[in-house]
Amino acid sequence: MNIAKLLERTAKTYPDHPALAHGTDIVATYRQFAAETVSLAHALRHELGLEKGDRVALIMKNHPEYWISLFATWHAGLVAVPVNAKLHISEFQYILENSDSRLVFATAELADQITPLKQELPALETILSVHEESYQSFKTGPALDLQDADPDDLAWLFYTSGTTGKPKGAMISHRNILIATLSHLADLAALEPGDAAIHTAPQTHGSGFTGIPTIAKAGIQVTPLSGGFDPAETLELISHFPNSCFFFAPTMIHRLISSPAFEGADTSNLKVIVYGGGPMYEADIRRAIDALGPKFAQLYGQGEAPMTITGLSTSLIKDENHPRRSEILASVGTVRTDVEVRIFDEDDKPLPVGEIGEVAVRGDVVMLGYWKNPEATKETLRGGWLHTGDMGCFDEEGFLTLKDRSKDMIISGGTNIYPREIEEALLTHPSVEEISVVGRSHPDWGEEVVAFVVSKQGDPAEPEELDRHCLSQIARFKRPKEYFFVLELPKNNYGKVLKTELRERLEA
Ligand code: AMP
């Protein structure tokens, strides 16, 4: 099934329901959204000459037109390549070249930025600003019938965020997206017509994925006028849209509730914040529940198994009386309905409960492989299992706790130390706002533990005090040997802390 079928169906049943909003203005009903989509799809195939399977890049700040161009791409049997608008121009070039994209949909200012690249990209024929007249007229032309798609046809090239090395294009099929959609509705959020998915995080990544189940269930896609995350604007949108739903990186929740605009804001419209994409520390989720109520669900996924490896449901997050509440909040939840998850040792032998190894996943949500990269595909999908590169362990009740990515693990004197445990401990100190723990090379021990700390404003703690705090919670050998106090941590465009950059700083 072509994933664009979801829009076709919803538009039939709920034609007059609001579908797309820009700020608080409704800019399209489902009838309009579907009509513009099928006309644009017609233009892609018949006026712009694209053929089944051709790649179409979307380089846009969050904007309602993203949804029309994305669904038109799928409707026309083409492959979408959504690109984070905040990437560097050289990264745009790399992705456009690697994907051989023939057309780019862009918001006006990004279209101007990309135009000079055209002469170096032989495959790229058309850059279409969604604000220009020809794009607008394509949306009112003749309609194209929904193109058939095999479940294993490529639908989405999802470039990994690449915290190290060049991004790789995870090949996501129509089946993968359908399964991620069903699993979201089954495990994370039961959506209803009129629910509002507010996209303050990039639509090209997790937030955009949560838009697809919203379309399946006749909800509204809301794009903030700023095109991004501004806490005050986000709070205004919550007060306007009943049943507001979000996908947030954990750092965004922290920014929302610590913003001055949060004081006295009415958040009663909030339905759910699905968080994931990076570690949520126990101290932070407790703070968030106190501030917003237990309106959260967590997902753990990666571009290679979009949004869908494990999840922590709202009902578990609500359960204050659970005897193992602390462990549960610090975990990434239980295995999602549609996948199998195992913990492997270095030889890909399954490890028993309680032992730490690499998280591996099998199921219909797992990517087809990496685009034009058979070696990486073979390595990552060996034995039919997606090797995530994340380290973790299961407990007896089936909760998975992630330790760290294998490359972030610290080996000191032959012992494995997982930075996350130290980070969790230090975050419970009242002076610590944010923290990242990494290994620094050491002549005797191989590596030693050091911490980068962002202190709460005007409230720094002495290293000795943090040391005492650590010793009250974790083994002596794990405590940081040195603290670096910094104003902020380096993060990538998705809000993930760049540990590689911290390690480089130490080497320098
Ligand atoms: P990406 O492919 O860019 O979405 O990055 C996926 C990676 O983010 C995973 O392999 C994990 O390392 C990390 N990640 C995703 N979700 C979570 C989560 N809920 N908790 C901790 N780390 C996460």
Q: What pLDDT band is residue 278 in, cutting at 50, 70 and 90?
A: confident
Percent share of the chain, pLDDT over 90 = 84
Nearest-atom index, ligand 1, CA of 163: 3
The answer to whether residue 165 scores a pLDDT higher than 70 is: no
Overall CATH class of domain 28-149: alpha beta
Distance CA 267, CA 215 (A): 23
Summarize pLDDT for 478-500 with one digit per residue, the tens. Answer: 999 999 999 999 988 777 889 98
Q: Are 294 and 314 in contact (CB under 8 A)?
A: yes
Q: Are 165 and 373 in contact (CB under 8 A)?
A: no
Tell me the pTM. Answer: 0.89
Distance CA 420, CA 364 (A): 30
| Count of Cβ atoms closer than 10 Å to residue 264 Cβ | 6
DSSP label at residue 116: G
Q: DSSP string of 363-400?
A: ETTS-SEETT-HHHHHHHTGGG-EEEEEEEEE-TTS-E
Please state the domain extents for the chain. 28-149, 418-507
Q: Write the CA distances from 264 to 229, 378, 399, integer angstroms.
A: 19, 53, 36
Region 6-31 average pLDDT = 98
Mean pLDDT in the chain? 94
Place of tokens 């409707």: 75
Q: Tell the residue nearest (CA) to atom 8 of ligand 1.
A: 277
Nearest-atom index, ligand 1, CA of 494: 3
Q: Write the CA distances from 200 to 22, 62, 223, 287, 452, integer angstroms.
A: 12, 8, 7, 21, 28
Pocket of ligand 1 (CB under 6 A): 160-161, 276-279, 298, 300-303, 332, 388, 390, 402, 405
Distance 249 CA to ligand 1 centre (A): 10
Q: Tell the residue nearest (CA) to atom 10 of ligand 1.
A: 302
The answer to whether residue 255 scores a pLDDT higher than 70 is: yes
Summarize pLDDT for 74-104 with one digit per residue, the tens. Answer: 999 999 999 989 888 988 999 999 999 999 9
Q: Tell the residue nearest (CA) to atom 20 of ligand 1.
A: 279
Q: What is the pLDDT of residue 162?
A: 56
Structure tokens at 81: 């390549």
Summarize pLDDT for 31-74 with one digit per residue, the tens. Answer: 999 999 999 999 999 999 999 999 999 999 999 999 999 999 99
Distance 272 CA to ligand 1 centre (A): 20
Q: Are 251 and 435 in contact (CB under 8 A)?
A: no
Q: Where are the strands (E) in 143-195, listed by range?
A: 154-159, 169-173
Summarize pLDDT for 184-237 with one digit per residue, the tens. Answer: 999 999 999 999 999 999 999 999 999 999 999 999 999 999 999 999 999 999
Overall CATH class of domain 418-507: alpha beta
